[in-house]
Amino acid sequence: MSTQKASRIGEEIWKTRIDKVNAELVTLTYGTIVAQLCQDYDSNYQEVNKQLDKMGYNIGMRLIEDFLAKSGVGRCANFRETADMIAKVGFKIFLNVAPTVTNWTSDNNQFSLIFDDNPLADFVELPDDGRAQDELWFSNILCGVLRGALEMVQMQIEAHFVSDVLRGDDTTEMRVSLVRYIEDEMPPEDD
């Protein structure tokens, strides 16, 4: 399936099958969560990143079900197709953004998502304490969402941000790498 086709599917679903909510509601709610985490963890930003990732993971595990139901897409043939599906359908229908998929490694196991527009980070300025700019990944929840969602469809991945406009970088870029396809495993035996 080509990128264009994925874009069309995303566009179509966004227009017809998605309930919309006010963007400020999302932005301010998420902003408050992050700010509260920073306060609760005493500006230990590594810990905040970890918590956001964990929250995202829990969201992703559930969201994938909704995604598959709404999009009705089948299994992806390869990881490249998965990437297009995430960027052009997944992000499109849940956040109405379509990040660019780029910077593939030659083994097709790693790619970058470039976000031109990040609704989670509207209005945001990172705290001016000299550390947040270097340590906090404000939108880290998205990494967790991808990790959780893909794990449910037998893909173990690793995702992290490598740059963020909030930190003063030119782009917001997330790096996603495939660790392995999870084979069906036997359930752990009861002791």
Which residues contribute to the site for other proteins (CB under 8 A)?
Answer: 24, 27-28, 30-32, 34-35, 38, 122-128
Q: How far is the CB of 37 from other proteins (least distance, A)?
A: 11
Smallest gap, in angstroms, from Cβ of residue 35 to other proteins? Answer: 4
| Residue spans of beta strands (DSSP E) within the chain | 100-102, 110-115, 155-163, 172-181
Nearer to other proteins, 107 or 123 (CB): 123
Residue whose CB is less far from other proteins, 168 or 187: 168
Q: Shortest distance, CB of residue 175 to other proteins, whole angstroms? A: 25
**Structure tokens given for 165:** 């406009």
52 vs 149, beta carbon nearer other proteins: 52
**Other C-beta atoms within 10 Å of 87: how many?**
25
Residue number, 117 or 158, with CB nearest to other proteins = 117
What tokens appear for 29 in the block?
């709610």
> Is the CB of 13 or the CB of 141 nearer to other proteins?
141
Per the CB < 8 A criterion, the answer to whether 145 and 58 are in contact is no
User: Which of 2-37 are b and which e, b meaning 16 or more Cβ less than 10 Å from the residue's Cβ?
Assistant: ebeebbebbeebbeeeeeeeeeeeebeebbeebeeb
Instruction: Specify the pairing of strand 110-115 against strand 100-102.
Output: antiparallel
Output the CA–CA distances (angstroms, integers) from residue 120 to 33, 129, 153, 183, in the order listed.
Answer: 11, 21, 25, 34
Which residue has 């359930």 as its token pair? 187
Measured from the CB atom, is 7 or 27 closer to other proteins?
27
